Amino acid sequence: MKTVKVDLRKEIDNSYEILIGSDFIKGILADFDPNATFYVIDKNVFNLYPFLRELKNKYIFETSEKSKNINSVAEILNFLKNSNCLRDSKLVAVGGGIIGDVAGFAASIFMRGIDYYQVPTTLLSMVDSSVGGKTGVNLGDTKNLVGSFYQPKAVYIDMKFLNTLSFEEYKNGLAEVVKYAVMFDESFYNMLIENYAEVEQRGNILQDIILKCCQIKADVVKEDEKEKGRRMLLNFGHTFGHAIEVDSEHKIKHGFAVATGMYLETLFGQFMKQVDSDVTDKIRIILERYGFELNYKYLDEEKFIGAIAMDKKARQSGVVLALTQKVGSGMLLKGVELNFIREFFVSLRS
Ligand code: GLY
């Protein structure tokens, strides 16, 4: 037998920069060639920011969790084809997490991959989904089942967009901020507790918070781009959180579901004798401080447990849960059997 190795180790440099500032995005986009740049823009954002109307090739997308599907990807691919997007063109996604995930996925498969840029406009997408190259859509009820790891060429975080974000959307993003603190950085946790009022009011501290989250995420992704290990820590709260989203038919938004998920996963860790009650208390304290609901009673047990089983983090060997045994140092609990999860949720109801 003869072997030929396709050695790709030095061929691809996926590095990119995240720029964080205020009121700079218009200037960045003005430098992009209008004939070779294609925009996928969230409808609400488009209606709120008149400068976006001046952009040439644009597809305006009305987002909801239900529209995060393969049909929307097909629509974007058709838009790119019909407006003569070429292999060396750019796609720019302007909007929240759904826009970034759907448009990023379309960019990753159009002509086998074109360059794309993220312009996140919600706190959630600024601190989490725009960074790290996870793109994709839901398949039926299963979140993010279809997708790719495809890094953007740059992420432009313009804080100006936060001025028009509803309180609910803002809070939706704060849940992910709390996640970083609890999993990776105890001093960040303390800072969020102490400066609660300024954070709530979207004060100057916000830029430092976004920077901190992006630094943590960049470090994690650098170490584990394809989520083989450490990156799974970023899924804290998401396994139960996704089940809450699905069971509530998306009436509970991602961040709120993740917040409840973080508490319940920690409580489950305690149930499994992996987490001490003082850690559970600390997680409860920060989530309560930020006004998140901690408890959830599923509507449909089979749907709820089924969503956990189908979640992409469930492997043949069982569910992998990200937990923290000490604030600031997350860990993975592997091979969790669904029976224990079922038993835990039954115990919560009694
Ligand atoms: N949102 C989790 C990750 O990007 O890995």
Give me the pLDDT at residue 125, please: 98
144, 131 contact by CB (below 8 A): no
**134 within some domain:** yes
288 and 183 share a domain? yes
**Cα–ligand 1 centroid distance for 55 (angstroms):** 30
User: pLDDT band for position 314 (50/70/90)?
Assistant: low
Q: Are 120 and 210 found together in one domain?
A: no
**Residue 262's domain spans which residues?**
176-349
Domain count, the chain: 2
Together in a domain, 73 and 216: no
Residue 349 has pLDDT above 90, yes or no: no
Residues 136 and 212 in one domain: no
282-303 average pLDDT score = 95
191 shares its domain with 158: no
Active site residues: 112, 134, 176, 217, 227, 231, 235, 238, 242, 254
Asked if residue 247 and residue 120 are part of one domain, the reply reads no
Give the residue, out of 98, 125, 129, with the most ligand 1 atoms within 8 A of its beta carbon, to mutate for a pocket test: 129
Residue whose CA lies nearest to ligand 1 atom number 3: 234
Residues 157 and 180 in one domain: no
pLDDT per residue as tens digits for the range 150-206: 999 999 999 999 999 999 999 999 999 999 999 999 999 999 999 999 999 999 999
pLDDT tens digits along 265-289: 999 999 999 999 999 999 999 999 9
Q: Considering the domain boundaries, does residue 169 fall inside one?
A: no
Going from the C-alpha of 22 to that of each of 162, 172, 195, the distances in angstroms are: 10, 21, 21
Q: Strand 314-315 and strand 318-326: pairing?
A: antiparallel
Q: What is the dihedral of CA 305, 310, 311, 314, to 10 degrees?
A: 90
Instruction: Determine, yes or no, domain membership for 171.
Output: no
Do 87 and 187 fall into the same domain? Answer: no
pLDDT computed for residue 169 by the predictor:
96
pLDDT at 126: 97
